């Protein structure tokens, strides 16, 4: 006869869920944090579905398990922080000078004794960039391809090991931050200039992984591309270069990089996970950068050399957690996040795509 235990008599036993939460590794969402810091905005999830019971242990906040690579020091990347006063679809236009190069020789500008300066006027140009306010919402129903809410059942909210309100708040914030990160990543990928390792003229040139690794020469040429068109720098004279973990690991195999890279005292003290500085570049790691596969199924890593003023940030109303009016007479709370935001590129010359494979 078998012994009576959980295996032979499962009907007499039940599992117990511990209130302890394990860690779930998460990136920092560097661009999302910089964007929100530039606007002075955040998503407050502390009051998700206040009408529901709050039984159970608190769920960990969305930020707890994140790999903190750097604080949102790059708020200067956003040239304009626009507060919209209007509905989604409203557009704000931002001007910048448009200079025309002419002839600058001494002979061309000299006005002789018997020569008159022309009274015919010429034009002074200006360029415009538009920023459009849009309404965004989340999370996303992948099966039905649409934003959709989380639902909290009133009875279940009073019984759970962890607070369902707290749990939903964590998931809402994580979804909001990841939406911003991926959206900004796509924007910064569209830089006017692409720099690749020597011999790699197009993404499809790579036929095996590691064929064109990131190296010091590529960094040097990316910096040169920025210098040649006079792109702005941070107050300390450096520019941020954000790379994938693979690109940074490849750099450690480059003798020139290892010899010339050093820890910048200010950043090294404030940001323990900051990588290094080389030439006039501060290197940072971002695990959320694109690694698109090419025609040979080889991942192409897309880093960004970003200059102050590359992005535009706008907000019509602070991001918020919004309840649905359809709540089954108070028995089910349905909540999502809603944000009236504008994201854009101020100048695509200010983003240089630094790629390797």
pLDDT tens figures, 66-117: 555 445 456 788 987 888 887 899 999 988 888 999 999 999 999 998 889 9
Q: Domain ranges in the chain? A: 22-98+124-357
Query: Which segments in the chain show pLDDT lower than 70?
Result: 1-9, 11-21, 23, 55-74, 161-162, 266-273
How many C-beta neighbours within 10 Å does residue 258 have? 13
Where would I find the H helices in the chain? 30-39, 106-109, 154-157, 164-188, 216-228, 245-251, 255-260, 265-270
By C-alpha distance, which of 136, 309, 324 is closest to 226?
309
- pLDDT at residue 7, rounded to an integer: 67
Contact 134, 314 (CB under 8 A): no
- pLDDT given for residue 72 in this prediction: 47
pTM to 2 decimal places: 0.88
């Amino acid at each position: 006869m078998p012994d009576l235990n959980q295996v032979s008599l499962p009907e007499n036993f039940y599992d117990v869920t511990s209130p302890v939460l394990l860690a779930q590794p998460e990136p920092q969402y560097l661009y999302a944090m910089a964007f929100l810091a530039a606007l002075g905005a955040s998503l407050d999830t502390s009051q998700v579905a206040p009408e529901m019971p709050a039984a159970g242990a608190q769920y960990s906040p969305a930020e707890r398990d994140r790999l903190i690579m750097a604080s949102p020091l790059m708020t200067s990347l956003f040239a304009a922080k626009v507060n919209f006063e209007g509905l989604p679809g409203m557009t704000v236009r931002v001007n910048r000078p448009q200079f025309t190069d002419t002839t600058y020789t001494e002979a061309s500008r000299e006005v002789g004794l018997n020569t008159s300066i022309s009274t015919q006027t010429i034009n002074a140009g200006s360029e415009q960039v538009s920023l459009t306010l849009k309404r965004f919402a989340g999370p996303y129903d992948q099966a039905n391809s649409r934003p959709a809410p989380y639902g909290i059942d009133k009875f279940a909210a009073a019984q759970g090991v962890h607070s369902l309100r707290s749990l939903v708040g964590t998931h809402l914030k994580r979804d909001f931050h990841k939406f911003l990160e991926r959206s900004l990543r796509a924007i910064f990928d569209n830089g006017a200039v692409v720099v690749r390792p020597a011999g790699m003229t197009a993404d499809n040139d790579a036929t095996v992984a590691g064929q064109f690794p990131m190296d010091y020469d590529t960094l040097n040429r990316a910096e040169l591309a920025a210098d040649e068109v006079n792109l702005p720098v941070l107050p300390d004279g450096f520019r941020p270069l954000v790379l994938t973990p693979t690109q940074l690991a490849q750099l450690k195999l480059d003798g020139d990089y290892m010899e010339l890279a050093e820890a910048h005292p200010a950043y090294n003290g404030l940001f323990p996970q900051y990588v290094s500085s080389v030439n006039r570049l501060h290197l940072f790691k971002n695990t959320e950068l694109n690694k698109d596969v090419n025609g040979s199924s080889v991942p192409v890593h897309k880093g960004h050399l970003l200059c102050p003023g590359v992005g535009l940030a706008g907000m019509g109303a602070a991001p918020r957690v919004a309840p649905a009016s359809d709540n089954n007479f108070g028995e089910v709370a349905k909540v999502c996040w809603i944000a009236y935001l504008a994201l854009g590129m101020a100048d695509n010359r200010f983003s240089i795509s630094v790629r390797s494979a």
